[in-house]
Amino acid sequence: MISYEAGRKLTTVIGAVLLTVVFAPNSTFSQPGVMTAADRQRQLVETIQEEESGNGPMAEGLIGPLTALAMLFHEEGDQLQAAATIERVLHLMRVNYGLHTLEQAPLIQQLIEQEEAWGRAAVAWELEQELLTLARRHPDDLRTVPIFREAAGRRSDWLDRYLGGESPPQIELGCYYDWPGIRPGGVAGPGQEMFRCNSGSRGDVQIALTADAQKHFAEAVAVLLRNDATQGEALRELDMELVRSAHRNSGDPFLRRVGVMFEPWRSWAVALLGIANWDPADTDRHERLAQNATGTQIKYPTQYGVGRSALQRIYAREVATGSWQTQGDALLQIADWDLIHERYAIALSEYELLYEKLTELGAAKSSIDGIFSPATPAVLPSFMPNALISHETEESGGYVDVAFEITRFGTSRRIEILDSSPGVSEQAQDRLVDLIRSSQFRPRTTDGRFRRSTRVVTRYYPADVNWP
């Protein structure tokens, strides 16, 4: 492992040389006394040759100028030379500082980007696996957080592209059609392939890519937690990424997999359980609504538990450092999550406790109503756009007045179209009714109580209005 002093020296050397390259004037603005790109390249080559002549081809002193030369090639668009030079720098780093120094990570990331730009997905995939293995060797180093986060983001991007009709090569490279390597029905027989990497179910791909993204998000969260980074916005953002991904697959299809505890499913479960059961300092434990979610203590996490444990961490940090406004918002998110996942009794008790707390603290009635009785009913989850919010525009101008009841469990009933402008078609009205019927809402209060159902009336502006 690279020592602290050696690592600091390496970072300083590379940083100093990179500053010379990055902040040197571009050749486009060349003027007397200012170095052009060719001049800078010539100077770097001379420095490299002098170092090689004096200290040999594996000298530590080559790392800085070669890194600067690679960046210069990149600036000038010579990506082939840039990649080759980065490969040499990586070799020198490993010779001088060991195979697993984290200082090489930015250069590997640069190679990954370059290989992807060239369309060499297989090479980029192998480089990414190397980078992730390297990052896991430094479990307490905050520099690994963006590595894990970017890996998770790439998988989310591949999934979006796949669901949009593309066929990213990474689907086959990662064997996401058959991620666990075990198909329903058991073990492969003689002459049969265990893995099916080039074809399979669309649903399998969605499940596997989501799980892999969650694993990398969880790895990033774990690094922050081990560093006690409980107040950073980065941790909140990562936790919300987990919540969104869990909502995307809220039906828990993971648990129906054969061999769910085999690799790579095991690594997914271990990563999620490691942070689901994290117990942060909580100065308000006796009033904490977000206890460990049902299912997180067993041998694999549920998607409900993945999202709820993330929301719990957000709430615990707000209890320790936030205002009552931010604490209330965090508790509201937990109650919404429980309602979405049909934990009705828990959700209602959380809503009631939050209402009481806000009232006791003297929160303005308008603020409380904005949460529990907004003019436009709150569609869950609240971290997604509210499909009922619409605006009058010059293009549309038409409206539909609709009334319906919201039950204390967040479902709708007795939907009634009250009025509409002449340009609104019956099809537009039907779509609005379908939207209301398929949505889940936050329960509303009447006179401070969550009643069995509450009637609401709202105006909606369809986007497609045909004036007569």
Q: What is the mean pLDDT of the chain?
A: 81
Count structural domains, the chain: 3
- Interval 372-401: pLDDT, tens: 999 999 999 999 999 999 988 766 668 999
Q: State the pLDDT confidence band at 14, using cuts at 50, 70 and 90.
A: very low
Q: State the pLDDT confidence band at 464, using cuts at 50, 70 and 90.
A: low
Among candidate residues 91, 109, 138, the one where a domain is terminated: 138
Q: Are residues 123 and 145 in the same domain?
A: no
- Please give the pLDDT value at position 436: 97
- Residue numbers of the domain that contains 47: 1-138
Q: Are residues 144 and 275 in the same domain?
A: yes
In this structure, of 265-279, 292-306, 312-326, 345-359, the range with the lowest mean pLDDT score is 292-306
Between 67 and 350, residue with greater pLDDT: 350
High-pLDDT (> 90) share of the chain, %: 41
Q: Are residues 106 and 228 in the same domain?
A: no
- Please give the pLDDT value at position 291: 44
- Please give the pLDDT value at position 197: 84
The CATH number given to whatever domain includes residue 62 is: 1.25.40.10
CB neighbourhood size of 335 (10 A): 25
Q: State the pLDDT confidence band at 170, using cuts at 50, 70 and 90.
A: very high
Residue 33 placed within a domain: yes
Q: What angle do CA 373, 377, 382 make, to 5 degrees?
A: 105
Between 75 and 193, residue with greater pLDDT: 75
Residue 347 placed within a domain: no
Q: Are residues 91 and 155 in the same domain?
A: no
Q: Are residues 56 and 146 in the same domain?
A: no
Among candidate residues 138, 161, 181, the one where a domain is terminated: 138
Residue 468 placed within a domain: no
Q: Are residues 456 and 415 in the same domain?
A: yes
Residue 119 placed within a domain: yes
116: pLDDT strictly greater than 80: yes
The CATH number given to whatever domain includes residue 406 is: 3.30.2420
Q: Are residues 133 and 143 in the same domain?
A: no
424: pLDDT strictly greater than 50: yes
Q: Are residues 270 and 409 in the same domain?
A: no
Q: Are residues 94 and 127 in the same domain?
A: yes
Between 438 and 70, residue with greater pLDDT: 438
Q: State the pLDDT confidence band at 25, using cuts at 50, 70 and 90.
A: very low
Q: Are residues 183 and 294 in the same domain?
A: yes
- Interval 287-319: pLDDT, tens: 444 444 444 445 567 889 899 989 988 998 888
Residue 107 placed within a domain: yes
Q: Are residues 234 and 296 in the same domain?
A: yes
High-pLDDT (> 70) share of the chain, %: 80
Residue 350 placed within a domain: no
- Please give the pLDDT value at position 9: 47
Residue 203 placed within a domain: yes
Residue 116 placed within a domain: yes
Among candidate residues 251, 286, 321, the one where a domain is terminated: 321
Q: What is the mean pLDDT of residues 81-86?
A: 81
- Please give the pLDDT value at position 145: 96
Q: Are residues 309 and 249 in the same domain?
A: yes
